[in-house]
Structure 1
């Protein structure tokens, strides 16, 4: 057991104030606590457990699949395994999965193309939130003009700025 007054790190030096009823404590990185701050809960989080079990299950399933796909039938019979699916499925299942994923991605891209208006459509420039700049001119002095409200810049102004200002 470690002496509570021993100093392992610079943060532990602040723990000497605990004897003087300090209300703030700083966690030490040597304590092995995970996460941010001191929550009072100990042990792994459920997401960590699910991740660990999922990764171990994936490794075990991959090993079983590779043994089933590549080990000769005589070896499987010698260790007592007589019932297993046909070797056809060792190629068919990954192939069907890859083709399904490629078709799903292609279908998704196709739906996006169908939902997008053509480049010549005015809906690519204007929508229900578009605002025309107001032509508000104040009668007061030129220097005391208010800030104009937020508005969209017209496409003709953008084209003039980008393409006609070649001087």
Structure 2
């Protein structure tokens, strides 16, 4: 019997039981993740102790200088303002980059495939019963005219 690779073109299904993992992969991400997790919890515990313990206990631990306690309130407040300012900035940049409704780029782009400029006849040429039409993007003005009818000016007359 010829053994096949676990995912060969002849047998696209994985082999069962699965092959044991190779030992060539690095375990460094696991260690980095553990160090990041433990250091985050350690720093949070130090922060809470600094914010809540009386001065006598902190000095009793041998710490001679530490920041003023008002920073225990100011740092989270400033960080929340920074997060909100970041969201506001990204929203404002997205809004500033959005073209106005009157801009043609809200309707079409540079990749639009429009028929040759011969008027609307090029669309009607492809409307014959047995015609295989070439693929074109339909201008928004023609779509609006078909869906909503002709425009009316202020005098009540139809315009083409």
Q: TM-score, normalised by structure 2?
A: 0.65
Given the superposition, is the C-alpha separation of residues 58 and 98 from structure 1 closer, same or farther in structure 2, using an over 3 Å criterion?
same
List per-residue Cα deviations over 1:82-116 (Å, max 9, x = no partner). 22111122122222211112112212211211111
List per-residue Cα deviations over 1:52-104 (Å, max 9, x = no partner). 21111111110010001111111112232222111122122222211112112
- Is 1:159 matched up with 2:144? yes
- Is 1:66 matched up with 2:66? no
SS at match of 2:78: helix
Distance 2:34 2:45 in 1: 17
Q: Which has the higher contact order (CA 8 A, sep 6+)?
A: 1
Q: Which runs of 5+ in 2 are unaligned?
A: 7-14, 117-121, 150-160
Given the superposition, is the C-alpha separation of residues 42 and 155 from structure 1 closer, same or farther in structure 2, using an over 3 Å criterion?
same
**Over the residues paired in the alignment, what is the CA RMSD in angstroms?**
3.1
Where does structure 1 differ by over 6 angstroms across 4 or more consecutive aligned residues?
A: none
- Is 1:148 matched up with 2:134? yes
- Is 1:93 matched up with 2:93? no
SS at match of 1:48: helix
The 5 A counterparts of 1:52-131 are 52-131=34-113
After TM superposition, give the deviation of residue 44 of structure 1 in Å: 5.8
Q: TM-score, normalised by structure 1?
A: 0.63
Distance 1:24 1:157 in 2: 58
SS at match of 1:67: helix
